[in-house]
Amino acid sequence: MMELKVLGCAMLFPLQIFVCVLRAAVRLLTRQKRRDMGADVVLITGGGRGIGRHLAKEFAKQGAKKVILWGRTEKCLKETCDEISLTGTECYYFVCDVGNREEVYQQAKVLREKVGDVTVLVNNAAVVHGKSLMDSDDDALLKTQHINTLGQFWTTKAFLPRMLELRNGHVVCINSILSLSSIPGAIDYCMSKASSYAFMESLTLGLLDCPGVGCTTILPFHTDTEMFQGMRLRFPKLFPPLNPEMVAQRTVDAVRTDTAFVVLPWTMHFLVILKSLLPQSALEEIHKFSGSYTCMKTFKGRT
Amino acid sequence: MNIVAELFVVTFKIMWSLVLAGAKWFVRPREKSVGGQVCVVTGAGSGLGRLFALEFARRRATLVLWDINKEGNEETADMVREIYRKLSPSEESSGIAQELPLFQPKVYAYVCDVSKRESVYSTAEKVRRDVGNIDMLINNAGVVSGHHLLECPDELIERTMMVNCHAHFWTTKAFLPAMLELNHGHIVTVASSLGLFTTAGVEDYCASKFGAIGFHESLSHELKAADKDGIKMTLVCPFLVDTDMFKGCKIRKEMAPFFPPLKPEYCVQQAMRAILTDQPMICTPRVMYMVTFMKTVLPFDATVCMYRFIGADKCMYPFLAQRKESTNNNESKTGI
């Protein structure tokens, strides 16, 4: 009897996979139900500039009730906040370094008292040192780890329990395609982003049975912000740097449709598939050809 | 060069590397000799690290053992000495060996907490003074917190990241400069299958192992870009190994015969083969390559479906429950 059941499961399995693939294809083609953002309180870390700033604007545009910005530089936060307040959405900002655990917990408490419960948490804050391992400073390596990876742990720990209680929430992570395919010269960034990707994947799997709470991870290619300024790929026509506005739009849309993983642009899927198929030496040739071995040489981004 | 010509050359090179990879299935490449080379093994006091040390000892390598646990480390050192003792008589009896300058491998044991930068740097300095330059670095030390994210004390999360992930920075930075100068060396990263795909409930562990793999890949590309062909890198990704680390972890009952927990000895033997033939990556068992590939091709929903079929998505829950119980009874040492 037991064997029969197992056999049945095994027979059904390819069919199930097929249905899943089909459903994913249908989802791509048809318009689906979108989450109404009207009651959402959105927290964006690193919201002062770059993708974070565009995200804040996009969330406001899509009708979020309140937008809260966290960041390290008050000037940028204030600018973004003013800009959003002009459009009529309630916006607040707090200075908070997500790499500092105590500060995150304390600011989370302040936030809860002053503004209310956060329902959409966007982990966007990130830094990049952009040097090879031997040229990197020890503290800079750690700083990247603390902000890009551990910061996400602390913010999630601070806000997720309440989301689970309310059965309403969404955890978003702005990751990078470098988490799945590393390049030389940004070892700190690749490592921290890979960690953060794993964290999100594990969390997504864990939250599958929690109704109302979802996760979204965005894996964009090189985006045209000041963070990765100077990075130059060999075929800019073929793989142009992404527009941060577009990344923000796609992110908000993924949150509203409760999509778990989004790779931008979609052609990067091929890179990931190739990586899992080809032997290392072949992969190195591709990297060399595409110029990813030299792209960080011209890097002069803000750290 | 003309871009079309270059594209052609690259395509040819890719084909060629595929052919070479295929040829390795039929002609097994020769294992390189590590006799007399200096090997540093972190986390050598127990589990896989100890087995790696013993395997290298059998091949007459000089061993430098690092562990936070002094007793375990000394125990490994004793076992290594025992192996050396057994090796040496055969060498003396054979005529060829006597013509060569008789090399007696040695073992050095150090207490070192790899999560602490200063500790790693000072121990590395001691190694350089006592032993000299090293040829192989096995980054093996690893811990697991064994709590759900929301119940896990922050210090344990930090510790997991520091030992499994950040330690690679410090150990590699300590030994890489000498390797770069000589353009000779071998760095091995012992990660886990959980560095290629994840499972629910052990967010911190998965994050740390993915990080280790990200580090490994980025570093190997870095070395390639700098044309340091003499420094090899090997990534070891074993599936669930039958050590005490993940006691209680279970996949679906019916699927268990297809994915048995690995015998640590088998896992280390496979890894040794890969290391000695300079293979860039080894997953044991082989079916893991398939799972990883499926994961990249399938949409997320289908991946979840696959995980559920194997029972891999919740496989850590029994382990976590057991950990919790034993912590309540004050049986287990948390964090180590």
Nearest to B210 among A185, A195, A261 (CB): A195
CA distance A6 to chain B (A): 7
CB atoms within 10 A of CB B301: 17
The nearest alpha carbon in chain A to B203 belongs to: A199
Decide: A143 and A132 in contact? Cβ < 8 Å: no
Query: How far apart are the C-alpha atoms of A143 and A5, rounded to whole Å?
Result: 52
Counting one residue from chain A and one from chain B, the pairs whose CB atoms sit within 8 A come to 215
Nearest to B219 among A133, A201, A208 (CB): A133
Question: What pLDDT is attached to residue B89?
Answer: 64
Q: Which tokens sit at B42?
A: 């972190």
With CA atoms as reference, report the closest residue to A222 among A166, A265, A280. A265
Question: What pLDDT is attached to residue B331?
Answer: 44
The alpha helices in B47-116, defined as continuous H runs, are 47-58, 70-93, 95-99
Question: What pLDDT is attached to residue A2?
Answer: 67
The gap from C-alpha A247 to its chain's centroid, in whole angstroms, comes to 10
CA distance A193 to chain B (A): 8
User: For the purposes of burial, counting CB atoms within 10 Å of the CB of B5, is it exposed (0-12), middle (13-18) or buried (19 or more)?
Assistant: exposed
Which residues fall within 8 angstroms of residue B309, CB to CB, at 6 or more apart? A9, A13, A16, B252, B255
Interchain CB distance below 8 Å, A101 and B224: no
CA distance A292 to chain B (A): 9
With CA atoms as reference, report the closest residue to B226 among A134, A240, A169, A239. A134
Interchain CB distance below 8 Å, A187 and B218: yes
> Which positions in chain B touch A196 (Cβ < 8 Å)?
207
Query: How far apart are the C-alpha atoms of B227 and B183, rounded to whole Å?
Result: 9
Question: What pLDDT is attached to residue B329?
Answer: 59
Q: Secondary structure of chain A: what % helix, strand, coil (to 5)?
A: 55, 15, 30
Interchain CB distance below 8 Å, B225 and A13: no
Confidence tier at A172 by pLDDT (50, 70, 90): very high
The gap from C-alpha A118 to its chain's centroid, in whole angstroms, comes to 17
The alpha helices in chain B, defined as continuous H runs, are 3-26, 47-58, 70-93, 95-99, 117-130, 154-161, 167-182, 203-225, 264-276, 287-297, 300-310, 317-328
> Which positions in chain B touch A197 (Cβ < 8 Å)?
210
Residue B76 clears pLDDT 50, i.e. is over it: yes
Confidence tier at B1 by pLDDT (50, 70, 90): low
With CA atoms as reference, report the closest residue to A183 among B227, B224, B6, B237. B224
The mean pLDDT of B132-148, rounded to a whole number, is: 89
Confidence tier at B328 by pLDDT (50, 70, 90): low
> Which positions in chain A touch B313 (Cβ < 8 Å)?
205, 208
The mean pLDDT of A138-150, rounded to a whole number, is: 93
Of A128-137, A231-240, A262-271, where does mean pLDDT reach its minimum? A231-240
Query: For the stretch A240-278, what's the b/e string if a residue is b when 16 or more beta carbons lie within 10 angstroms of its beta carbon?
Result: ebbebbebbbbbbebbbbebbbbbbeeebeebbeebbeb
Of A33-37, A165-169, B151-155, where does mean pLDDT reach its minimum? A33-37
Most confident of B102-106, B143-147, B188-192: B188-192
| Virtual torsion, Cα A5, A10, A12, A18, nearest 10 deg | 160
User: For the purposes of burial, counting CB atoms within 10 Å of the CB of B23, is it exposed (0-12), middle (13-18) or buried (19 or more)?
Assistant: exposed
Nearest to B215 among A187, A199, A294 (CB): A187
Average pLDDT of chain A is 90
The nearest alpha carbon in chain A to B174 belongs to: A134
Nearest to A133 among B172, B194, B198 (CB): B172
CA distance B57 to chain A (A): 29
Interchain CB distance below 8 Å, B157 and A150: yes
Interchain CB distance below 8 Å, A276 and B177: no
Decide: B281 and B288 in contact? Cβ < 8 Å: no
User: For the purposes of burial, counting CB atoms within 10 Å of the CB of B113, is it exposed (0-12), middle (13-18) or buried (19 or more)?
Assistant: middle
Residue B132 clears pLDDT 50, i.e. is over it: yes
Q: Is B201 left (phi over 0), alpha (psi -120 to 50) or beta?
A: left
Average pLDDT of chain B is 86
> What percent of chain B has a predicted confidence (pLDDT) above 90?
50
Which residues fall within 8 angstroms of residue B276, CB to CB, at 6 or more apart? B31, B32, B34, B59
> Which positions in chain B touch A286 (Cβ < 8 Å)?
10, 14
Query: How far apart are the C-alpha atoms of A249 and A251, rounded to whole Å?
Result: 5
Interchain CB distance below 8 Å, B305 and A16: yes
Decide: A183 and A232 in contact? Cβ < 8 Å: no
Residue A128 clears pLDDT 50, i.e. is over it: yes
Q: Output the furthest CA–CA distance in chain A (Å, rounded).
A: 69
> Which positions in chain A touch B232 (Cβ < 8 Å)?
none
Residue pLDDT, tens place only, B213-225: 999 999 999 999 9
Interchain CB distance below 8 Å, A157 and B20: no
The nearest alpha carbon in chain B to A206 belongs to: B200
> Which positions in chain B touch A288 (Cβ < 8 Å)?
10, 225
Query: How far apart are the C-alpha atoms of B94 and A95, rounded to whole Å?
Result: 73
The alpha helices in A223-279, defined as continuous H runs, are 244-256, 268-277
Residue pLDDT, tens place only, A186-210: 999 999 999 999 999 999 999 988 8
Interchain CB distance below 8 Å, B218 and A183: yes
Query: How far apart are the C-alpha atoms of A21 and B90, rounded to whole Å?
Result: 61
Residue pLDDT, tens place only, B159-210: 999 999 999 999 999 999 999 999 999 999 999 888 888 888 888 999 999 9
CA distance A90 to chain B (A): 30
Residue pLDDT, tens place only, B107-131: 999 999 999 999 999 999 999 999 9
Interchain CB distance below 8 Å, B221 and A196: no
Decide: A198 and A284 in contact? Cβ < 8 Å: no
Interchain CB distance below 8 Å, B209 and A197: no
Q: Which tokens sit at B145?
A: 């917190």
Residue A23 clears pLDDT 70, i.e. is over it: yes
B38: number of CA atoms within 13 Å, CB side? 16
Helix (H, G, I), strand (E, B) or coil at A36: coil
CA distance A273 to chain B (A): 6
Decide: A77 and A49 in contact? Cβ < 8 Å: no
The mean pLDDT of B12-38, rounded to a whole number, is: 88
With CA atoms as reference, report the closest residue to A55 among A126, A161, A144, A106. A126
Confidence tier at A237 by pLDDT (50, 70, 90): confident
Query: How far apart are the C-alpha atoms of A223 and A240, rounded to whole Å?
Result: 9
Interchain CB distance below 8 Å, B21 and A201: no
Interchain CB distance below 8 Å, B203 and A206: yes
Report chain B's C-alpha Rg in angstroms: 21
Q: What is the CATH number of domain B32-85+103-329?
A: 3.40.50.720
CA distance B292 to chain A (A): 7
Fold of A35-290: Rossmann fold (3.40.50)
The nearest alpha carbon in chain B to A184 belongs to: B222
> Which positions in chain A touch B220 (Cβ < 8 Å)?
280
Residue pLDDT, tens place only, A65-122: 999 999 999 999 999 999 999 988 999 999 999 999 999 999 999 999 999 999 999 9
Nearest to A261 among B194, B211, B300 (CB): B300
Q: What amino acid positions of A are annotated as catalytic residues?
A: 189
CB atoms within 10 A of CB A1: 4
A85: number of CA atoms within 13 Å, CB side? 11
Decide: B192 and B202 in contact? Cβ < 8 Å: no
Residue A301 clears pLDDT 80, i.e. is over it: no
Sign of CA dihedral A246, A248, A251, A255: negative
The helix (H) or strand (E) run that includes residue A83 is: helix A74-86
Q: What amino acid positions of B are annotated as catalytic residues?
A: 205
Query: How far apart are the C-alpha atoms of B320 and B202, rounded to whole Å?
Result: 8
Question: What pLDDT is attached to residue B334?
Answer: 40
CB atoms within 10 A of CB A82: 11
Query: How far apart are the C-alpha atoms of B154 and B85, rounded to whole Å?
Result: 46
> Which positions in chain B touch A21 (Cβ < 8 Å)?
298-299, 302
Which residues fall within 8 angstroms of residue A270, CB to CB, at 6 or more apart? none
Mutate to test the interface with A, among B16, B175, B296 (most CBs of A within 10 A): B296
Decide: A65 and A112 in contact? Cβ < 8 Å: no
Decide: A227 and A128 in contact? Cβ < 8 Å: yes
The nearest alpha carbon in chain A to B202 belongs to: A202
Interchain CB distance below 8 Å, B17 and A285: yes
